[in-house]
Amino acid sequence: MTSLSAKSPFSLSRLAIYATLLTACAVYLIPLIVMLLTSFKTPEDVLTGNLLSWPELFTGIGWSKAWDSVGGFFWNSVKITIPAVTISTLLGALNGYVLAMWRFRGSQLFFGLLLFGCFLPFQVVLLPASFTLGQLGLANTTSGLVLIHVVYGLAFTTLFFRNYYVSIPDALVRAARLDGAGFFTIFGRIMLPMSVPIIMVCLIWQFTQIWNDFLFGVVFASGDTQPITVALNNLVNTSTGAKEYNVDMAAAMIAGLPTLVVYILAGKYFLRGLTAGAVKG
């Protein structure tokens, strides 16, 4: 009897685990539910109902007004995020490949110095980055923000790829060299096809960091070049007249949907990629 009860799916310990998980899910999901419900309410419904009340009349006017306010800035974030994520991931792969497989004199020192970039707070680089962008003629431009995010993200992507590549046997690269394969041939035909897990990690990490960035966006961009995070802040804090919470919530949902979709579709690859290179190095 004891062994059967221990294996039962309805044991007290398992029920306690499920109850704890459901409670945690509810706590994390309540803000999202409140935002979603409020975004479909009328302004009058928002003021008279409670936060979790069902809308008396479902309306998309809040979403329409929100898109009119932040839609252009949404595409600014797309123009910033996609090239910055792509470039920083590719350069990080190259850096990690060199540091793991083509070690040179001082490579460990170089890698150690590069890691400092992972611990530098955003505020430290604001003044030198502003000066550099001004000298390059990229101040207050989308290209300038792309450059900033690529440079700042290189330390992280290099770290991810280097730690992943050190788990790959050196004999594989030596055998390719003996067969006449060069630097880029080995990288393109051997290393990259094996790097799908860590590529997913870098794509998710960089996408989340860049899309959700506010500080760089508000400092290095202005006017029509600002990302959606800055536009959302301006919408919420500079509204005139009666406060339209349904518009604010819809705009917040629009700003958060891309990262939410990315984690729903590719979140399972994130942890898998992080632990893929944890055996060696």
Give the tens place of pLDDT for each residue, 120-146.
888 888 889 999 999 999 888 999 999
Q: Which two tokens stand for residue 39?
A: 């975004």
Mean pLDDT over 90-100 rounds to 91
Residue 26 CA to residue 272 CA, distance in Å, equals 26
263-277 pLDDT, tens digit per residue, is: 888 777 777 766 665
181-219 pLDDT, tens digit per residue, is: 888 888 888 888 888 889 988 999 999 999 999 999 999
- Mean pLDDT, the chain, rounded, equals 85
Q: Which two tokens stand for residue 94?
A: 């190259």
Q: Is the pLDDT of residue 56 over 70?
A: yes
Q: Is the pLDDT of residue 95 over 70?
A: yes
Question: Residue 269 CB: number of other CB atoms within 10 A?
Answer: 18
Q: How many CA atoms lie within 13 A of 153 on its CB side?
A: 32
pTM: 0.84
Residue extents of the structural domains in the chain:
6-48, 63-274
pLDDT at position 1, please? 46
CATH, domain 63-274, list 3.90.480.20, 1.10.3720.10, 1.20.120.1730, 3.30.565.10: 1.10.3720.10
pLDDT at position 241, please? 64
- Name the band, by pLDDT with cuts 50, 70 and 90, for residue 28: confident
Greater pLDDT, 251 or 120 = 251
Radius of gyration of the chain from its Cα atoms, rounded to whole angstroms: 24
- Name the band, by pLDDT with cuts 50, 70 and 90, for residue 4: very low
* Strand spans (E) along the chain: none
pLDDT at position 150, please? 94
pLDDT at position 211, please? 95
- Dihedral sign for Cα atoms in the order 100, 104, 110, 112: positive
Mean pLDDT over 41-58 rounds to 82
| Residue where the block lists tokens 């999901």 | 29
In the DSSP assignment, the letter for residue 54 is P
Q: Which two tokens stand for residue 15?
A: 């029920």
